Chain A
Amino acid sequence: MEILMSIVAGILVTIAVYLMLSRSILRIIIGTGLLSHGAHLLLLTMGGLKRGTVPLLGEEAASYTDPLPQALILTAIVISFAITSFFLVLAYRAYQELGTDDMDKLRGNENND
């Protein structure tokens, strides 16, 4: 199961890299979303996908899944959520002010501010 999940995470990261190398800002932001999905999935997989019940003591099971990676993922999700929303608003502002969503046209030096 871990091998399958690793391959899926790898595919997610591949698509993310492809999207982030494109020119449109929105495609880049979709890429960052997929990249964080890949990272979170990898965090879950690397914690081990051994069988066990949900980490709730009320279940009174013999074994539980590892609760630590889940806490780490929860933290990483809210952080990447905050950054993605900031990035989206920034892209919107940049589109309003600069009038383009093409990263190639956002190149520049001190002469064409």
Chain B
Amino acid sequence: MTNFVIFPLLIPLLTAITLLILKNQIGLQKIISALSLIVNIGLSLYLVQIVFENGIQTHELGGWTPPFGIVLVADMFSALLVLTTNVVSLCCVLYAFRSIGEDREKFYFYGAVQFLITGVIGAFLTGDIFNLFVFFEVFLMASYVLIVLGGTKIQLRESLKYILVNIISSALFVIAVAYLYAVTGTLNMADLSARVSEAGQPGLLTGIGLLFFVVFGLKAALFPMFFWLPGSYSAPPTAVLALFGALLTKVGVYSIFRLFTLIFYHEPQFTHEIIGWVALLTIVVGSIGAIAYWDVNKIIIYNIIIAVGVIVYGVTLTTPEGLAGSIYYLIHDMVIKGALFLLAGAIIVITGTSNIKNMGGLIKNHPQLGWMFFIATVSLAGIPPLSGFIGKFLLVQGGLESESYTFVAVLLVSSLLVLYSAMKIFMNCFWREPKLTAQEEKGTTKGLLYPSAILLAISVFLGVGAEFVYPYISMAAETLMDPSVYIQSVLKE
């Protein structure tokens, strides 16, 4: 069935449109948005399976053959990310049911979430560079709405900055597409790849590639372009923050992977060198931020920056193991960042503050929350039975094989600092003398814990069931290593 690729994209779009009609029926909105995500998880599982069995699936929109029409391409990398996106979104939406409040729900909260998911999945599936821009704008527009919805002072202040940064990077995206079109005369990624390799990637194309790197670096919060992220992500409520932290920067990471493994891979000694150093500095800056703060959300936000650096470095590794490690770490990170933000949100609900110094002794009244946070922490740092370990292990292996010893050292030291920063939250919030008695607590965690329990279970499964998961990941890495597979399945030469 060649039409199958479009369904994971179509379902959130149709759901979003339906939810716009049902403004005041909040109960119905909740049922529809959860149901559509569950259906979409099923569909994307099936998509992963058919890509695994039959190779890359393409869907030519309108029946126009590429490079003349827009084509949707699902290779293993995109299919896995689509699946992860749906799972994480489902958990964030479940968390929102109990936490987001009627004021926001009545003003199209769930509709905006579905549009965000549409944009993210579209960006993962598209095979056309201008279409990628359009899907970026779809999820950015939804994210503008979600970041400001509620209209508190801090949200208004931070969303002004967030929107400004993204307008600038979108304009740069348009300019980069204009340059690329002028040089190659095509917008289809597979066709671009073929033409760039015919031309042997002269300096002009390398420059355009670096302009794209700046654009996606701004979206993914890489080292000199990460400055907007800590402020903006401290504004929205927890459910939105978890959705942003798990999905938005990762789309930038995905685009960097796609572009530098498919199109601009001919001058690695120049482009990949720059990417490598930027990624290393991103890890360093993220680690500094993560150990500097005494604010629960700020610490996890800087952990996003560290993880983005670690994953992006994977582009420069020359072995399939390195790339597989990067992909594994990407999927692990989407899951675990979602879980961490949701758990941190539950802590903030109980204590009414995000400052670690004002917390203490939560383990007495909230043992489940405490031990779940502990598991999330050790999984984040990469302790063996859990999912963070395998990604980092493969990355270290790939780094040693590619002789990137600096990277291996930075990765291992940063893991320690990640563990320190997350343990700082655990030890200060959950141990020590209790600061609040059961009566003084600001809110209840009823219904807030099971979404993160689902995510943690997936994280444990990714770690313990690595034997089962690894063939999929390694297939994704092999497709990324060999662009001709992608080109042949799209252009059908």
Q: How many A-B residue pairs have CB under 8 A?
A: 99
B160 A94 Cβ-Cβ under 8 A: yes
Tell me whether B409 is interfacial, beta carbon within 8 Å.
Answer: no
With both beta carbons as reference points, the residue of chain A lying nearest to B131 in the complex is identified as: A75
Tell me whether A98 is interfacial, beta carbon within 8 Å.
Answer: yes
Tell me whether B485 is interfacial, beta carbon within 8 Å.
Answer: no
Tell me whether B134 is interfacial, beta carbon within 8 Å.
Answer: yes
Shortest distance between the CB of A76 and any CB in chain B (Å): 5
Tell me whether B274 is interfacial, beta carbon within 8 Å.
Answer: no
Binary B-proximity of A39-62 (CB < 8 A = 1, otherwise 0): 110110111100000000000000
Report B178-200 residues with CB < 8 Å from chain A CB: 178-179, 181-182, 187
With both beta carbons as reference points, the residue of chain A lying nearest to B174 in the complex is identified as: A39
Known: A82-B141, A98-B157, A106-B160. A46 touches B181 (CB 8 A): yes
Shortest distance between the CB of A67 and any CB in chain B (Å): 12
A97 B156 Cβ-Cβ under 8 A: yes
- Contact partner of A83 among B167, B172, B355, CB < 8 A? B167
B137 A90 Cβ-Cβ under 8 A: no
Q: Which residues of B contact A39 (CB under 8 A)?
A: 171-172, 174-175, 178
Known: A28-B164, A46-B181, A46-B182. A75 touches B130 (CB 8 A): yes
A35 B167 Cβ-Cβ under 8 A: yes
B178 A43 Cβ-Cβ under 8 A: yes
Tell me whether A93 is interfacial, beta carbon within 8 Å.
Answer: yes
Q: Which residues of B contact A64 (CB under 8 A)?
A: none
Tell me whether B417 is interfacial, beta carbon within 8 Å.
Answer: no
Total interface residues on B, using CB and 8 Å?
Answer: 34
Tell me whether A1 is interfacial, beta carbon within 8 Å.
Answer: no
Which secondary structure characterizes the binding site on chain A?
Answer: helix
With both beta carbons as reference points, the residue of chain B lying nearest to A72 in the complex is identified as: B130
B171 A79 Cβ-Cβ under 8 A: no
Bound Cα distance A67, B172 (Å): 22
Total interface residues on A, using CB and 8 Å?
Answer: 37
With both beta carbons as reference points, the residue of chain A lying nearest to B166 in the complex is identified as: A83
A75 B134 Cβ-Cβ under 8 A: yes
B168 A20 Cβ-Cβ under 8 A: yes
Tell me whether B50 is interfacial, beta carbon within 8 Å.
Answer: no
Q: Which residues of A contact B187 (CB under 8 A)?
A: 68
Known: A72-B130, A86-B163. A94 touches B174 (CB 8 A): no
A79 B134 Cβ-Cβ under 8 A: yes
A93 B151 Cβ-Cβ under 8 A: yes
Tell me whether B148 is interfacial, beta carbon within 8 Å.
Answer: yes
Interface residues in chain B, defined as those with a beta carbon under 8 Å from any beta carbon in chain A: 130, 133-134, 137, 141, 144, 148, 151, 153-154, 156-157, 159-161, 163-164, 167-168, 170-172, 174-175, 177-179, 181-182, 187, 234, 295, 354-355
Q: Given known contacts A45-B178, A91-B160, what 6 new A-B pairs fall within 8 Å (CB)?
A: A39-B175, A48-B182, A75-B134, A93-B151, A94-B157, A113-B154
Q: List 10 A-B contacts (CB under 8 A).
A: A20-B168, A39-B178, A43-B174, A48-B182, A76-B174, A80-B171, A93-B151, A97-B153, A97-B156, A110-B234
